[in-house]
Amino acid sequence: GDVAVLVPAAGAGVRLGPGAPKALRPLAGEPLLVHAVRRVAAAPSVHTIVVAAPATDVEAVRAMLAPVAPVTVVPGGAERQESVAAALAAVPAGPEIVLVHDAARALTPPDLVESVAAAIRDGHDAVIPVLPVVDTIKEVDAAERVLGTVDRSALRAVQTPQGFRRSVLVAAHRCAGDALTDDAGLVEKQGIAVTCVPGSELALKITRPFDLSLAEHLLSTGA
Ligand code: CTP
Ligand code: MG
């Protein structure tokens, strides 16, 4: 394997409602993070996995993941970007492809990990998995008045894992300013081309209670 995968898992899960940090909440009897790491580890290209855990749960997460796959666990930060930076700093010498994933995308198929890594291997600096946007999108003002309709055909919903040539991701994080919601955004700011590959509906981000119910259902039908 020539790939390191960073798995930020230090978020609270506010939108999921009160409870444990989201990555530690159960999905079909196992924590979301266990599902996510198991699928990442099943991708043949993966050499190294680094998880950024909630700072108070680092030891518990190490114990939880030990039977699942060999992983390095570091404390995450207050923002996702800080958690990614902490995980990136823990990647050993070797892997020249780095993927940044979300623990919350717990059902992401190993095939998607492989296809993102393959596109980097093919020579792209930065690769993101995307899906078409299905809803009509309106731009609104502060009073919720419609300003206009956005051309949906030119829009994409972005998933993880996002893949990078290691040096590109390291440079982007060195220059990171305002917190963005994804790593490709940092790379775009460096003026580096970002390429899209087809995403997967199974890579949905478990964000709200509805998503957790959907994931439970997908697992019960064999996902
Ligand atoms: N994440 C992280 N460190 C943070 C915030 C988020 O590692 N300080 C991780 C989450 O654990 C998750 C991923 O980034 O795997 C995507 O974030 P999101 O879906 O927003 O999760 P949460 O931040 O936990 O949820 P919420 O925003 O509803 O609190
Ligand atoms: Mg969040």
pLDDT string in tens for the chain (223-residue length): 899 999 999 999 999 999 999 999 999 999 999 999 999 999 999 999 999 999 999 999 999 999 999 999 999 999 999 999 999 999 999 999 999 999 999 999 999 999 999 999 999 999 999 999 999 999 999 999 999 999 999 999 999 999 999 999 999 998 877 777 789 999 999 899 999 999 999 999 999 999 999 999 999 998 8
CA 146 / ligand 1 centre spacing (Å): 30
Pocket of ligand 1 (CB under 6 A): 8-15, 22-23, 52, 76-80, 83, 102-104, 205, 207
Phi, psi for 25 (deg, rounded to 5): -75, 150
**Inter-residue contact 81 to 89 (CB < 8 Å):** no
Query: Cα Rg for the chain, rounded, in angstroms?
Result: 17
CA 182 / ligand 2 centre spacing (Å): 11
Among the bound ligands, the one closest to the CA of 23: 1
Per CATH, the homologous superfamily of domain 3-220 is: Spore Coat Polysaccharide Biosynthesis Protein SpsA; Chain A (3.90.550.10)
Residue 143, Cα to own-chain centre: how many angstroms?
A: 33
**Measured distance CA(101)–CA(37) in Å, rounded:** 10
**Measured distance CA(5)–CA(2) in Å, rounded:** 10
Rounded to two decimals, what is the model's pTM?
0.97
Would the ipTM clear 0.90, i.e. be above it? yes
CA 1 / ligand 2 centre spacing (Å): 30
**Inter-residue contact 106 to 203 (CB < 8 Å):** no
